[in-house]
Amino acid sequence: MSSLNNLTDKLKSAQTPFYYYDLQLLQATLEACRTAAQPYGFHVHYALKANFNARVLQLIRDAGFGADCVSGNEVSKAIEVGFDPSKVVFAGVGKADKEINEALDFDIFCFNVESVQELEVINSLAAAKGKRARVALRINPNVDAHTHHNITTGLAENKFGINQWELADCAEVLTKAGNLWLEGIHFHVGSQITDMNVFKSLCVKVNEIKTWFEERGFNLNVLNVGGGLGVDYYHPDENAIPDFAAYFAIFDRYLDRRAGQEVHFELGRALVAQCGTLISKVLYVKKGIKKNFLVLDAGMTELMRPALYQAYHKIERLEGEAGSQVLKYDVVGPICESTDCFGKEVELADSERGDIIAIRTAGAYGEVMASRYNLREAIRSVYSD
Ligand SMILES: *Cc1c(COP(=O)(O)O)cnc(C)c1O
C-alpha cells in the first residue's frame, strides 16, 4: 500500500472511481509463477475472464503464458492481443456454433468439451471445414473445493463438465468421430481455493480417470488441471504473491504422468487479483444511532464481488486530513440496491467527505464484471507507470 499512499495527493485530484493497477507487482507475480512452474515443465494458461484489461493482457502475453478462454470473444481477443493460437484453449458449457467455427478457423490448441452432445457438434462443424478439432474432455471430478458455494464447479450435478458415468459414451463418440482428436482430459474444481488438500484430491481423481482412458487405448498428451489457486484477501501487502512453488509441488508429487505427458494449468485470480485496487472517494458520511455509513462514489457497478458472493475485500482509507480516532463504518456504494455494500462494520480512521478509499485485491473478477446499471459511467483504469 505504501506505493499507493505516496500517490494520495495525485489520487485526490483524479476523477474517481477507477481501477489502479500496480504493473510492477503484476510482473513480479508472473515471474514468480513462471519460475515455480519451470522446473517441472508445467504450462500455464491465463484465464482471461479474470481480467482482460489491455495492459494487463500485454504483460501476461509477454511473460509467455497461454490463454484460457470461455467465450468466442475471449478467443478472438487473446489472438488479437498476440497470444499464439497454439497456446489458446476454449472452455465453456455453452459454446455457440459461431464461436466454435471461429475457434476452428483460428486453429486454437484445444476445445475443453463439456458434454457428449458438444463433442458431436464440434465433430460435425469440424467436418464441414475439413478439419480435425483437438479436444479435451472437461470431466467433473466430484471434488469439493471447500470454497464459496457460488464459485464451486467440480461437484457432481453441477452444470459444468462431463460426469464420470458418461465417459463410456464419450469414448464411443470419440472412436467413431473422424474429425476429433482427443488431446487430453481437463478439470477445474472451483475458484479461490486455499486448502492445498483440494488439489491433492484432484490429482488422485485425475490419475484414476487418466488410467481409465489409457486402459481403453487413448493416449493422452495433456492433463489439464484447471485453475482455482486462491489469494490472501485479508493480507494483500504481507501476501502479495501466492505461493506458486507450494502449489506446483503438489501436482508434481501427486500426479502420475508418463514422460512427455504435458501438465497444463489455467490460473486467473492468482495472477492478477493483488495488482488491482479500486480507488474511490467518500461522498457522504452518515452517522446513525447504531451505525455509521460511508457512502462511496464506487459501487457494485464497479466491483460486484461483495454483492455477488459476499466476498471480502480489505478496505483502507488512504492518508487524509481526518482525525485518527477509529470508527466502524458500513462502507456502501451509491447504487439503488441493498446489496451494494463493500463491507460491514469496517474499522477505519474517522473519515470525511473527499477521503480516498482503496478497496484492495480487486484485480481479478473486478473490472471485467463492471456494469452500466443505473447508467453509470464506464469504469476507467490507471496504471502505476
Ligand atoms: C474461471 C476458470 C479458470 C480460472 O479460475 P481462477 O480461480 O481464476 O484461477 C480456469 N479454468 C476454467 C475452465 C475456468 O472457468
Please tell me the predicted confidence (pLDDT) of residue 289: 85
Sequence-ordered list of residues with C-beta below 8 angstroms from that of 157, at least 6 positions apart, any chain:
163
Ligand 1 centroid vs 240 CA: distance in angstroms? 20
Instruction: Fill in the DSSP letter of residue 162.
Output: B
pLDDT at 158: 76
AA identity, residue 246: A
Q: Within a 10 A sphere around the Cβ of 357, how many other Cβ atoms? A: 26
Ligand 1 centre and the CA of 300: distance in Å?
Answer: 22
Instruction: Spell out the residues 6+ positions from residue 2 whose beta carbon is closer than 8 angstroms to its own.
Output: none
Provide mean pLDDT across the span 284-307. Answer: 95
d(CA 188, ligand 1 centre) in Å: 7
Nearest CA among 202, 185, 184 for reference residue 193: 202
**Rounded Cα distance, 266 and 247, in Å:** 13
Instruction: Say if residue 1's pLDDT is above 60.
Output: no
Q: Which helix (H) or strand (E) holds 359?
A: strand 356-359
CA 70 – ligand 1 centroid, Å: 9
Domain 2-18+274-383 has CATH 2.40.37.10: yes
**Mean pLDDT of the region 275-287:** 96
What ligand 1 atom has the least distance to the C-alpha of 112? 13
pTM as predicted: 0.94
Of the candidates 371, 354, 345, 366, which has an alpha carbon nearest to the alpha carbon of residue 277? 366
CA of 50 to the centre of ligand 1 (A): 8
Phi, psi values for residue 156, rounded to 5°: -60, 155
Closest ligand 1 atom to Cα of 230:
7
pLDDT of residue 23: 98
Q: Is the pLDDT of residue 243 over 80?
A: yes
For residue 138, which atom of ligand 1 is closest to its CA? 13
pLDDT of residue 129: 98
Residues with CB under 6 A from ligand 1: 47, 49-50, 68, 70, 91, 188, 191, 226-229, 266-270, 364
Atom of ligand 1 minimally distant from the CA of 192? 7
What's the rounded mean pLDDT across residues 258-282?
A: 97
Q: Which atom of ligand 1 is nearest to the CA of 91?
A: 13
- The pLDDT score that the predictor gives to residue 372 is 96
Mean pLDDT of 206-231: 96
Percent residues over pLDDT 70 in the chain? 94
Q: Is 24 helix (H, G, I), strand (E, B) or coil?
A: helix
What does the pLDDT average to over 318-325?
Answer: 71
Side chain identity at 157, as an amino acid letter?
Answer: E
Q: What is the pLDDT of residues 80-127, one digit of tens each?
A: 999 999 999 999 999 999 999 999 999 999 999 999 999 999 999 999
Please work out, in degrees rounded to the nearest 5, the angle formed at the alpha carbon of residue 349 by the alpha carbons of 345 and 351: 90
Substitution candidate for ligand 1 out of 137, 186, 191 with most atoms within 8 A of CB: 191
C-alpha cell at 377: 459511467
Domain regions of the chain by residue span: 2-18+274-383, 23-272
* Contacts of range 64-71, beta carbons closer than 8 Å, 24 or more positions apart: 64/34, 65/30, 65/34, 65/271, 66/109, 66/264, 68/227, 68/266, 68/268, 71/99
Report the atom number in ligand 1 closest to the C-alpha of 365. 8
pLDDT at 225: 98
* First-to-last C-alpha distance (Å) of the chain: 16
181 pLDDT more than 80: yes
The pLDDT value recorded for residue 320 is 62
CA of 159 to the centre of ligand 1 (A): 15
Query: Does the pLDDT of residue 2 top 60, yes or no?
Result: no
Superfamily of chain region 23-272: Alanine racemase (3.20.20.10)
- Say how far apart CA 2 and CA 21 lie, in whole Å: 14
Sign of CA dihedral 26, 74, 92, 136: negative
Record the cell numbers describing residue 151, joined without a space. 464459485
Q: What integer pLDDT is reported at residue 44 of this predicted model?
A: 98
Categorize the per-residue pLDDT at 351 as very low, low, confident or very high, splitting at 50, 70 and 90.
very high
Query: 250 CA distance to ligand 1 centroid (A)?
Result: 18
Mean per-residue pLDDT over the chain, rounded: 94
